[in-house]
């Protein structure tokens, strides 16, 4: 896709976190990115997080001022003042089916709520994933005390080639996306980062033609396709790069700053 960078007017920029704001190599946000976000807000441009993380798993970016948070891949949207703009849970029948499936077949999963995360086992694969995103390993849930009505997102440790059949047969009312071969994010049907962007565009009275987004994984596809300018990080997967309007440098090579300079926002 092509975009005329000389004719754009951007009023909001949406950022994925892991692999976009935060480097997987250092576990930190580059100084250039922090400075760029500050400059955007000084110019009156809204800066909004769009992540698959929980609303309570944002400590690594808490030192930066944002204008809103799209979390659980669009399932929970909130302002910086804590006002909840939307909250959508997974169909309880799908959660029940997931739990029953894991009792019969080897499958690790996590259940994410607005106030906690629980897992069914702590395999090396699961422990490694949480270390990869600098989060503590959640507690193992009690099978006779699972809150099936309020799950906002599930993570299923399933290989990509098995994902389609699993979703169709076990969690048909939900949708899956992934940013790693290790596991897929599962969200309520109809929920995506695009849905979260639509909510914030309505809240701030911004047209989607005035938006830009940055991402690196499969769960960023709907976001990059929807915003006027969708930017893939240099470290993004090939699937995302194919739908991007522009491919910048990777997160450790000042990719965000370089793209914002290219489009004249800094």
How far apart, in whole angstroms, are the C-alpha atoms of residue 4 and residue 61? Answer: 32
CB contact at 8 A, 74 and 195: yes
**Where is the domain boundary, 129, 158, 188?**
188
Number of Cβ atoms within 10 Å of the Cβ of 193: 31
Segment among 13-17, 69-73, 180-184 with least mean pLDDT: 180-184
Same domain, 64 and 110: no
The model carries a pTM of: 0.90
Claim to verify: residue 163 and residue 205 sit in the same structural domain: no
Q: pLDDT confidence of 97, banded at 50, 70, 90?
A: very high
pLDDT for 129: 81
- Comparing 143 with 216, which gets the higher pLDDT? 216
Q: Is 147 exposed, middle or buried (0-12, 13-18, 19+ CB in 10 A)?
A: middle
Task: Please indicate, yes or no, whether residues 10 and 83 belong to a single structural domain of this protein.
Answer: yes
pLDDT of residue 206: 97
CATH number of the domain encompassing residue 251: 3.40.50.1000
Contact present, 100 and 153 (Cβ < 8 Å): no
Tell me the average pLDDT across 230-256: 97
pLDDT at 182: 84
Residue span of the structural domain in which 80 resides: 5-87+191-262
Give pLDDT tens digits for 17-69.
Answer: 999 999 989 999 999 999 999 999 999 999 999 999 999 889 889 999 999 99
Query: In the prediction, which pLDDT does 178 show?
Result: 86
Are 77 and 196 in contact by the 8 Å Cβ rule? The answer is yes
Task: Say yes or no: 171 and 126 in one domain.
Answer: yes
Of 128, 158, 188, the domain-final residue: 188
Q: Tens of pLDDT along 130-150?
A: 887 778 898 999 888 899 999
pLDDT at 130: 84
Domain shared by 123 and 70, yes or no: no
CATH of the domain at 183: 3.30.1240.10
Residue 6 has what pLDDT? 60
User: Do residue 224 and residue 106 come from a single domain?
Assistant: no
**3 has a pLDDT exceeding 70:** no
State whether 76 and 204 are in the same domain: yes
- Confirm if 240 and 223 have CB atoms less than 8 A apart: no
Confidence grade of residue 248 (pLDDT, cut at 50, 70, 90): very high
The confidence score (pLDDT) of residue 132 equals 76
In percent, how much of the chain has pLDDT > 90? 83
Residues 209 and 77 in one domain: yes
Has residue 195 got a pLDDT over 80? yes
pLDDT, tens only, 147-167: 999 999 999 999 999 999 999
Q: Are 88 and 75 in contact (CB under 8 A)?
A: yes
Based on the domain organization, do 58 and 120 belong to the same domain?
Answer: no
| Total tally of structural domains belonging to the chain | 2
CB-CB contact of 27 with 248 (8 Å): no
Same domain for 82 and 195, yes or no, is yes
Cα dist. 202→112, 195, 198, 215 in Å?
26, 11, 6, 22
pLDDT for 153 equals 97
Mean pLDDT of the chain: 93
How many distinct helices (H) and strands (E) make up the chain?
A: 8, 13
Q: Which of 132, 166, 188 is the last residue of a domain?
A: 188
Tell whether 80 and 204 lie within a shared domain: yes
Question: Do 197 and 160 lie in a common domain?
Answer: no
Burial of 101: CB neighbours in 10 Å, binned 0-12, 13-18, 19+: middle
**Token match 């029953």: residue?**
100
What's the first-to-final CA gap in the chain, in angstroms?
Answer: 23
Residue 5 has pLDDT above 80, yes or no: no
């Amino acid at each position: 896709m092509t975009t005329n960078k000389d004719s754009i007017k951007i009023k909001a920029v949406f950022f994925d976190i892991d692999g976009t704001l935060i480097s997987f190599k250092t576990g930190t946000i580059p100084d250039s990115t922090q400075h760029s976000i500050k400059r955007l807000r000084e110019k009156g441009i809204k800066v909004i997080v769009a992540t698959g993380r929980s609303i309570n798993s944002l400590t690594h970016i808490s030192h930066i001022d944002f204008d809103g948070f799209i979390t659980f891949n669009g399932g929970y949207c909130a302002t910086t003042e804590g006002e909840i703009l939307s909250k959508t849970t997974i169909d309880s029948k799908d959660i029940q089916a997931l739990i029953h499936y894991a009792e019969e077949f080897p499958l690790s999963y996590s259940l994410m709520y607005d106030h906690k995360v629980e897992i069914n086992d702590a395999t090396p694969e699961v422990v490694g994933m949480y270390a990869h995103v600098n989060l503590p390993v959640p507690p193992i849930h009690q099978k006779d005390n699972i809150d099936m009505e309020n799950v906002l997102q599930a993570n299923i440790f399933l290989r990509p080639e098995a994902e389609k059949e699993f979703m169709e047969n076990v969690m048909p009312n939900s949708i899956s996306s992934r940013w790693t071969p290790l596991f897929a994010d599962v969200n309520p049907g109809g929920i995506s980062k695009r849905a979260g962007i639509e909510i914030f565009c309505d809240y701030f009275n911004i047209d989607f033609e005035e938006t830009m987004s940055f991402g690196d994984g499969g769960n960023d596809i709907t976001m990059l396709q929807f915003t006027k300018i969708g930017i893939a990080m240099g470290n993004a997967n090939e699937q995302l790069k194919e739908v991007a309007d522009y491919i910048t440098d990777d997160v450790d090579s000042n990719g965000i700053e370089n793209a914002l300079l290219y489009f004249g926002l800094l």
